[in-house]
Amino acid sequence: MSEQPRYQKAVWVDPSQLDTADKAAENSMSAQEFSLQQITDVVEEPPAAVTTQRLARRKGRWRRVFGVSLTATLIGAVGVELYRLLDWSYTLHPAAGSVVSVLLVVLALSGAVQGWLALKGLRQLRNVERLQTQARELLQHKGQGHAAGLLKSLQAHYKESAARQPLEDAILQLDSAYSDEEVVRFLSRHALTEQDLRARRCVQRYSVESGVLVALSPWASFDMLLVGWRNLRMLREIAAIYGVAPGAAAQWTLLKRVMHNLAFAGLSEVAIDAGSAALGSSLTASLSARAGQGLGAGLFTARTGLQAMRLCRPLPSESHDQNLIKSIAGGIVERLGKSRPID
């Protein structure tokens, strides 16, 4: 068999002679038969694990030195000051001293928790990004058996969240015959249904809310503040829905990315917006200028929300969200038509 390197031949292997036959089989991957005791069924565990390349993070060396020294200086200065405060308060009165030390302990603890949350959020956001790249690669891939890595990372991502159960269920339903591309499409379609639904509802609620708020608020100069405030809350919620811990740092990073994506929205999105504008014109004909501004603010919130969904969702989604935007616009106009303050 091994003299025929051009293709891999088929061979019947007598189970009792398997040991001798293996050698040839190993080189040529020919067809062979196995005894039933030799094999194990493949149920849901895909065989090979995929090796993901770590994104090499480049950082200027001097920049790091600067950062480290600056932090060290600041921490040192603050530490010395705090120590002096403590010292001083004890000399003042033991009671004052104990109050200050309790305060300091509380401060340190809450600071640590905050920092840990922020780091966790950032890590999870990076994780999502990595999952998305990995999933996109698999979507291009025609072969089979390389999705195990993605599955493991997904499971790890949802380790402590309520979304774990649907994910596990979906993974159990994966068929051994699916190619990598099909695995990703299946999971995207069936593992995140619940979260997609909640996230869409969240976007819808916040968009309508901010639209109506802007339309009804008497102080035009507060519009931006109002919208910004609602948007930030929405980002937090969406991130939480998709299993990203909503720390301030993660929220900030997310906001930056969302704004970046909105500013550089691709042609397709412009087309969608043109569509929603056309739809708006029939709806807005009867609206006052102020209500029109409200509609605009609502649609802006909706787009922000959809971008955030796209960024927080661990698997790329193919669905087009034109319907959501339409229904949001409809919702705002309906509310304004009734001209009733929001509840």
Partner 1 sequence: MGVSKRLKSWMGDVRVDDLRNRLTDLAEQSMDRHLRLAVTGLSQSGKTVFITALVHHLLHAHKSGSLPFFELAANGRVVGTRDLSAESSSPFPLRDAIEGLSQPSPHWPQSTRGLSEVRLAIRYRRAPGLRRVFGDSSTLFLDIIDYPGEWLLDLPMLEQSFEQWCESQRQLFMKEPRRTVAAGWLQKLQRIDWNSPRDDALLQELSREYSTLLQILRRDPHALSLLQPGRCVLPGDMEGSELLQLFPLVLPEPVSSEAPEGSLRWTLQQRYEQYRQQVIRPFYVRYFSRFDRQVVLVDCLKTLNRGEACFNDMKQALSAILQSFNYGRSGFLRRLFSPRIDRVLFASTKADHVTANQHHNLDRFLELIVQDAQRDMGFEGIDTRCMAIASVRATQAAQAHVDGQTLSCLRGLRKDTGEEVALFPGEIPTELPGSEDWTQDRFRFVDFAPHRLPSADLKSSHHIRLDQLLEYMTGDQFQ
**Which residues are at the interface with partner 1 (CB under 8 A)?**
6-12, 18, 22-23, 25-26, 29-36, 38-42, 47, 142-145, 173, 175-179, 182, 185-186, 189-190, 323, 326
**Residue 162: CB minimum distance to partner 1, A:** 22
Nearer to partner 1, 33 or 87 (CB): 33
Output the CA torsion 306→310→312→314 (10° steps).
150
**Residue 131: CB minimum distance to partner 1, A:** 21
Nearer to partner 1, 47 or 228 (CB): 47
**Residue 35: CB minimum distance to partner 1, A:** 7
Nearer to partner 1, 190 or 198 (CB): 190
**Residue 280: CB minimum distance to partner 1, A:** 17
User: What is the total residue count of the chain?
Assistant: 343
Nearer to partner 1, 11 or 249 (CB): 11
Cα–Cα dist 236/160, whole Å: 18
Q: Which of 204, 203, 227, 205 is nearest to 215 (CA)?
A: 227
Nearer to partner 1, 191 or 234 (CB): 191
Cβ atoms < 10 Å from Cβ of 263: 7
**Residue 1: CB minimum distance to partner 1, A:** 9
**Residue 246: CB minimum distance to partner 1, A:** 30
DSSP secondary structure letter of residue 134: H
**Residue 28: CB minimum distance to partner 1, A:** 10
Nearer to partner 1, 197 or 224 (CB): 197
Q: Residues 114, 144: contact at Cβ < 8 Å?
A: no
Question: Which tokens hold the place of 64?
Answer: 């790091």
Cα–Cα dist 231/80, whole Å: 40
Q: Residues 46, 147: contact at Cβ < 8 Å?
A: yes
Backbone angles phi, psi at 10, to 5 degrees: -100, 140
Question: Which tokens hold the place of 311?
Answer: 């960024």
141-147-148 Cα angle (round to 5): 160
Q: Which of 228, 232, 233, 249 is nearest to 125 (CA)?
A: 249
> Which residues, in sequence order, are CB contacts of 331 under 8 Å at separation 6+?
204, 207, 208
Nearer to partner 1, 6 or 57 (CB): 6
**Residue 262: CB minimum distance to partner 1, A:** 25
Nearer to partner 1, 108 or 271 (CB): 271
